[in-house]
Every structure is written in C-alpha cells, then in structure tokens.
C-alpha cells in the first residue's frame, strides 16, 4: 500500500466510449502525475499537476483529458481512444514546493490496465 | 535531468547479494540518484535515494562513488520476490513538481 489508490484496476472500453480513470492520494502531497506504460516500453510521463495547476503536458493527444479538482484527486478522462492506447496508466504523487534539498520522492499507485477494443 | 546507463539484465542466486550498477557520468551537483523497481504488472515501487553519501534502509543499500558518476544498488539477501525491473534515475531535488524520467532499467532475475 503506497497511499496512492487508482480505480478501476482494469477497464475495457470501445473506441466510441467515454470513461474516466481516478486517482486518489492519502499522503498529503500537492503534486500529481499521470504516466503511461505501453507493452515493452519505458514509462512515459503524460501530465504533471502542481497545486492543482497543470505544469506539464508531454504532447499528449486531446483524447486524453486530465482533471485535478484538488490536491488529493486526479482524473484522466478518456474519449474516442484507439486500440494503440491500450496500456497501463499509472498515477503518482509527491510533495512539491518545499525548500528542502532532500528530494521529494514520488510514489506510484498500482495502475489501471486499459484495453481499447 | 542526467541520463543513466544500466545493464539490460542480470541474474542472481537466491540468498546472495544482488549488486545493480548504474552509470550517471553527467550528473549535476544538485541531482539525486533514485532507485525504483517494478514487479510485473504493478506500479513502480520506491526503493532508496541519495545525493552523495551512501544510504541504507530496510530494503537496500545505495553506494555512490566519490565523483558521483556511478552508483550501485545492493539487495543484501535477494529473494525470489526481488525479481523485477530496477530503474536508476537522477533528478533534481527541491522545489517544484520534479518528474521522473524512466529508462529501460535492469531486469533482475533471482534464481532458486
């Protein structure tokens, strides 16, 4: 248990469906991240949120729409996806905005396995 | 963030120490060395991190060379459950949302 919870763990959706992935962190962190891991590829950073504001979008297609209503919750809204979007989607969080140089460790959830059919 | 180089795969016998090397010759003075591992079908798990001193926790030890251009993660008594992909990452610490950039990592197999 890392303190970062992702739901659902598995999702199968059609290309015309609209679905959402949810992430909740119980660590009191203020930065949250979405990563994507396709088969046999390294993890790819998708989005970064810092204090609810999006600070990075790594050229992600608009069919992926993130939402961060507060520092504890992060959503990834999915619309008209393609089969090649099938992957493991990972949420992570960290404590940002401190002056400490000890590094702010990033903690990951267990991921949501997405299959687009 | 500085780039890291790790062997693609390694094997280790159960009960022995597993030593995983990482080269980060372009590391900057304010960049930390982080280690994560990913067991099949799970999210990456934080193991340990350090700046310039050696570090030890309940999971592993991290040995960083004096010039900081390389490091070694040591799992002192490897078990079958330590079979995973291990990632060495360098990143800047401090303020802001500091992202992690993952490479291919080292696939460690612990053999009975």
Kindly report, residue by residue over B41-88, the tens digit of the pLDDT. Answer: 799 999 999 999 899 999 999 999 999 999 999 999 999 999 999 999
Q: Say whether A43 and B44 touch across the interface (CB within 8 A).
A: yes
Q: Give the C-alpha distances (Å, rounded to integers) separating B53 from B33, B46, B57, B71, B93.
A: 11, 18, 13, 11, 15
CA distance A60 to A40: 19
pLDDT of residue B31: 87
Min CA distance, A101 vs chain B (Å)? 5
Kindly report, residue by residue over A45-65, the tens digit of the pLDDT. Answer: 999 998 889 988 989 999 999
CA distance B33 to A70: 30
Burial (CB count <10 Å: 0-12, 13-18, 19+), residue A106: buried
Kindly report, residue by residue over A93-114, the tens digit of the pLDDT. Answer: 988 765 454 557 889 999 999 9
pLDDT of residue B24: 94
The distance from CA A96 to its chain's CA centroid, rounded to whole angstroms, is 17
Q: Say whether B30 and A101 touch across the interface (CB within 8 A).
A: yes
Residue of B nearest to A53 (CA): B97
Cis-peptide, bond into residue B87, ω within 30° of zero: no
Q: Say whether A108 and B43 touch across the interface (CB within 8 A).
A: yes
Contacts of B97 in chain A (CB under 8 A): 31, 33, 48-50, 55-56, 94, 96
Min CA distance, B77 vs chain A (Å)? 23
Min CA distance, A31 vs chain B (Å)? 6
Q: Is-contact B84 B43, C-beta < 8 A?
A: no
Q: Is-contact B57 B42, C-beta < 8 A?
A: no
Burial (CB count <10 Å: 0-12, 13-18, 19+), residue B35: buried
pLDDT of residue B96: 64
Catalogue the E-assigned strands of chain A: 4-7, 10-13, 18-25, 31-37, 44-50, 53-57, 64-70, 73-79, 87-94, 107-108, 112-116
Closest of A91, A42, A43 to residue A66, by C-alpha: A91
Kindly report, residue by residue over A24-47, the tens digit of the pLDDT. Answer: 999 999 899 999 999 878 899 999
| Cβ-nearest to B101 among A45, A92, A110 | A45
Kindly report, residue by residue over B9-22, the tens digit of the pLDDT. Answer: 999 999 999 999 99
Better-scored residue on pLDDT, B92 or A4: A4
Q: Is-contact A29 A73, C-beta < 8 A?
A: no
The secondary structure of residue B17, as a DSSP letter, is P
Q: Is-contact A68 A47, C-beta < 8 A?
A: no
């Amino acid at each position: 248990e890392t303190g970062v919870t992702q739901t659902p763990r598995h999702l199968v959706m059609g290309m015309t469906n609209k679905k959402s992935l949810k992430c909740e962190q119980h660590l009191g962190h203020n930065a949250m991240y979405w990563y994507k891991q396709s088969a046999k590829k390294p993890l790819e950073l998708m989005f970064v949120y810092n204090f609810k504001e999006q600070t990075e979008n790594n050229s992600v297609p608009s069919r992926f729409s993130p939402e961060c209503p507060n520092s504890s919750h992060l959503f990834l809204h999915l619309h008209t996806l393609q089969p090649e979007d099938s992957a493991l989607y990972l949420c992570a969080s960290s404590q940002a905005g401190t002056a400490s140089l000890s590094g702010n460790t990033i903690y990951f959830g267990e991921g949501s396995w997405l299959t687009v059919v | 963030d500085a780039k890291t180089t790790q062997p693609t795969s390694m094997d280790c016998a159960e009960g022995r120490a597993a030593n995983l090397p990482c080269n980060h010759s372009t590391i900057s003075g304010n960049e930390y060395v982080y280690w994560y591992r990913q067991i099949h079908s799970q999210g990456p798990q934080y193991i340990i991190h350090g700046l310039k001193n050696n570090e030890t926790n309940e999971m592993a030890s991290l040995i960083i060379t004096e010039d900081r251009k390389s490091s070694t993660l040591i799992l002192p008594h490897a078990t079958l459950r330590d079979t995973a992909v291990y990632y060495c990452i360098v990143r800047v610490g401090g303020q802001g949302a500091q992202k992690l950039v993952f490479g291919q990592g080292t696939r460690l197999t612990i053999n009975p």
